[in-house]
């Protein structure tokens, strides 16, 4: 089973919680045991599992990546000014795989799934959600 989640982003860099959309897809699949892969299409975004309770953790992720990979100092910036976004995306990665346990996402209480935007705002980011039975 495969579905697409579409997310609009409203800032250049940020984490957007997509857990509820993925949860609905998993529940509708009626898969009791398996895996769900969450994959963002695009070279300047990523998917991350991170703490869901305290938004400061998500802000810290963005701040850390800004410090590690500053804007405007990369060779690719000559083409379109987003060299940092490509590097951040490469480090975070485009996807995560989560187990499905008894028909539910196998996340811990404090984990959620986030779209990481590094080159927004964007009218649409397509996230491919693929479910496989175990």
Which residues are paired to 50 by β-bridges? 112
Identify any residues that bridge with 6 across adjacent strands, giving them in sequence order: 126
The full length of the chain comes to 134
Whichever domain contains 41, its CATH number is: 2.60.120.460
CA dihedral sign of residues 45, 50, 55, 60: negative
Domain count, the chain: 1
What is the structure's pLDDT at 39?
99
Q: What is the pLDDT of residue 52?
A: 86
Whether the upstream peptide bond of residue 65 has omega within 30° of 0, thus cis, is no
pLDDT at 68: 98
Share of residues in the chain with pLDDT > 70 (%) = 100
**Which one, of 48, 53, 60, 59, lies nearest residue 127 by Cα?**
48
- Which are the contacts of 47, defined by CB distance < 8 A and separation ≥ 6? 38, 39, 40, 92, 93, 94, 95, 96, 113, 114, 115, 116, 127
The per-residue pLDDT for range 49-104, each reduced to its tens digit, is 999 888 899 999 999 999 999 999 999 999 999 999 999 999 999 999 999 999 99
In the chain, beta strands by DSSP E: 2-9, 14-17, 33-40, 45-51, 95-101, 104-105, 111-117, 122-133
How high is the pLDDT of residue 107? 98
Tell me which H or E stretch contains 104. strand 104-105
Owning domain of residue 19: 2-133
Average pLDDT of the chain, as a whole number: 97
User: What are 89-110's pLDDT values in tens digits?
Assistant: 999 999 999 999 999 999 999 9
Quote the pTM value. Answer: 0.96
Percent of all residues in the chain with a pLDDT value above 90, rounded to a whole number: 97
């Amino acid at each position: 089973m495969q579905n697409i989640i579409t997310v609009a982003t409203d800032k250049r860099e940020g984490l957007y919680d997509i857990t509820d959309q993925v949860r609905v897809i998993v529940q509708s699949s009626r898969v009791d045991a398996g895996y769900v892969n969450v994959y963002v299409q695009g070279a300047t975004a990523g998917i991350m599992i991170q703490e869901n309770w305290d938004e400061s953790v998500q802000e810290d992720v963005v701040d850390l990546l800004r410090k590690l990979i500053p804007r405007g100092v990369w060779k690719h910036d000559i083409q379109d000014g987003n060299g940092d976004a490509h590097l951040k995306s490469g480090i975070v990665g485009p996807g995560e795989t989560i187990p499905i346990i008894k028909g539910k996402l196998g996340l811990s209480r404090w984990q959620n799934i986030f779209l990481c935007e590094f080159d927004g705002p964007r009218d649409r980011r397509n996230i491919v959600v693929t479910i496989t039975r175990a």
